[in-house]
């Protein structure tokens, strides 16, 4: 029996040494930077992948040399089942341990998609389907059903999605991004409506969207938005027709060839504000927050008219009387003809 004690002790010590060496080797593996280029590497985890498959893929791509310690650590720590599918950017200096934490957090690569102020719904859908990170899942005919699924009270998509830059993972569907943009527009519209001024010429948040879309199409200048909104507010108050070209163009639709004629201005459509009083039935574009704010806080004044100056800076000439406006239009036409002659 006396001989058994040292043998048992030796066996215990050997086991402890082996275990300690294993722990050392595992930690050395987990904390040693992986093999990736200076600019980093892209690594994709397919939906439903096991950690064993992920580790094997890392070996195949040359990011790690062996997956034994990785699989052992993931199994012992209970983290093997918590990884998220997606496309990841593994940066230089990353270790197997930091990669695993990245996979557990789902810190996937994000792509940018920007909705531009003034886009219409056709522009929006086309841009979504042209983006490599977005999966197309709807057509123009799907708008009414999609809007119903969002809880919208209207069936026309125009103006309902907030112009903004959205950060999305690869394989986001068009409907998922549109849902984000719709929800954000609802939030912004509610905030702006809550803080609207007394001079706001609209009776509902949706009317604010309609008028804001017109302001958005009329000017890209931040300093002019409240002023143009003020012109429209006074015209609405006086029951004057808005007489704004962008609404006429929207009423023409996809057939518009870029040349707005007198015939177009005389041809009645629900969007022709030369032939009809009041606001058109829907927005004509996607208005940004600044345009919505301008409509709900229109500038005071007496101006009832505006026309482009033709100076190349997007500015407009504002007038109180029709006579002043006619003179401003004539000035614009002279400048336009001079520019065309120079361009020959």
CATH of the domain at 88: 3.30.1490.480
Q: Are residues 151 and 47 in the same domain?
A: no
Residue 223 lies in a domain: yes
Q: Are residues 318 and 272 in the same domain?
A: yes
Domain boundary among the residues 74, 91, 108 is at 108
Residue 18 lies in a domain: no
Q: Which residues are within 8 A (CB) of 264 and not within 5 positions of it... i.e. 6 or more apart?
A: 248, 249, 252
Beta bridge partners of 112: 167
Average pLDDT of span 49-77: 92
Tell me the CA distances in angstroms from 218 to 13, 39, 92, 275, one per residue in order.
83, 44, 48, 19
CA atoms within 13 A on the CB side of 184: 17
Residue 300 lies in a domain: yes
Domain boundary among the residues 157, 189, 221 is at 189
Q: Are residues 230 and 255 in the same domain?
A: yes
Which contiguous run of DSSP H or E holds residue 281? none
pLDDT in tens, 274-313: 999 999 999 999 999 999 999 999 999 999 999 999 898 9
Q: To the nearest whole percent, how much of the chain has pLDDT over 90?
A: 79
Q: Are residues 118 and 254 in the same domain?
A: no
Tell me the CA distances in angstroms from 85 to 51, 57, 159, one per residue in order.
11, 13, 34
Q: Rounded distance, CA 319 to CA 303, Å?
A: 5
Predicted confidence (pLDDT) at residue 254 exceeds the cutoff of 90: no
CB 127 within 8 A of CB 165: no
Residue 279 lies in a domain: yes
pLDDT in tens, 135-156: 999 999 999 999 999 999 999 9
Q: Are residues 95 and 177 in the same domain?
A: no
Domain boundary among the residues 79, 108, 137 is at 108
Which residues form the domain of 147? 112-189
Q: Are residues 209 and 333 in the same domain?
A: yes
Q: Are residues 336 and 258 in the same domain?
A: yes
Q: Per the structure, how many domains does the chain have? A: 3
Q: Are residues 201 and 159 in the same domain?
A: no
């Amino acid at each position: 029996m006396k001989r058994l004690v040292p043998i048992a002790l030796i066996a215990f010590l050997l086991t402890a040494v082996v275990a300690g060496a294993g722990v050392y080797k595992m930690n050395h593996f987990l904390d040693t930077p992986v093999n990736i280029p200076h600019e980093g590497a892209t690594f994709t985890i397919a939906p439903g992948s096991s950690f064993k498959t992920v580790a094997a893929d890392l070996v195949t791509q040359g990011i790690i040399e062996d997956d034994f310690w990785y699989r052992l650590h993931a199994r012992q720590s209970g983290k093997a089942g918590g990884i998220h599918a997606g496309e990841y950017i593994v940066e230089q200096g990353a270790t197997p341990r930091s990669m695993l934490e990245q996979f557990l957090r789902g810190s996937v690569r994000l792509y940018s998609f920007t909705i531009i102020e003034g886009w219409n719904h056709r522009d929006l859908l086309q841009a979504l389907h042209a983006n490599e990170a977005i999966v197309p899942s709807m057509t123009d005919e799907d708008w009414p059903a999609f809007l119903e699924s969002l809880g919208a009270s209207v069936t026309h998509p125009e103006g309902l999605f907030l112009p903004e830059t959205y950060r999305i993972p690869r394989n986001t569907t068009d409907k998922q991004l549109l849902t984000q943009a719709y929800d954000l527009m609802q939030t912004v519209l509610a905030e702006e409506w809550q803080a609207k001024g007394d001079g706001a010429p609209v009776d509902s948040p949706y009317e604010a969207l309609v008028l804001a879309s017109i302001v958005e199409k009329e000017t890209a200048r931040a300093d002019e938005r409240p002023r143009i909104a003020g012109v429209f507010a006074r015209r609405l108050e006086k029951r004057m027709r808005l007489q704004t070209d962008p609404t006429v163009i929207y009423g023409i639709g996809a057939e518009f060839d870029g040349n707005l004629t007198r015939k177009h201005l005389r041809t009645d459509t629900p969007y022709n504000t030369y032939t009809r009083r009041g606001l058109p039935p829907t927005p004509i574009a996607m208005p940004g927050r600044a345009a919505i704010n301008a409509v709900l806080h229109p500038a005071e004044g007496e101006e009832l008219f505006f026309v482009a100056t033709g100076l190349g800076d997007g500015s407009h000439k504002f007038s109180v009387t029709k006579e002043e406006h006619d003179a401003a239009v004539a000035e614009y036409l002279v400048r336009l003809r001079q520019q065309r002659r120079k361009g020959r």
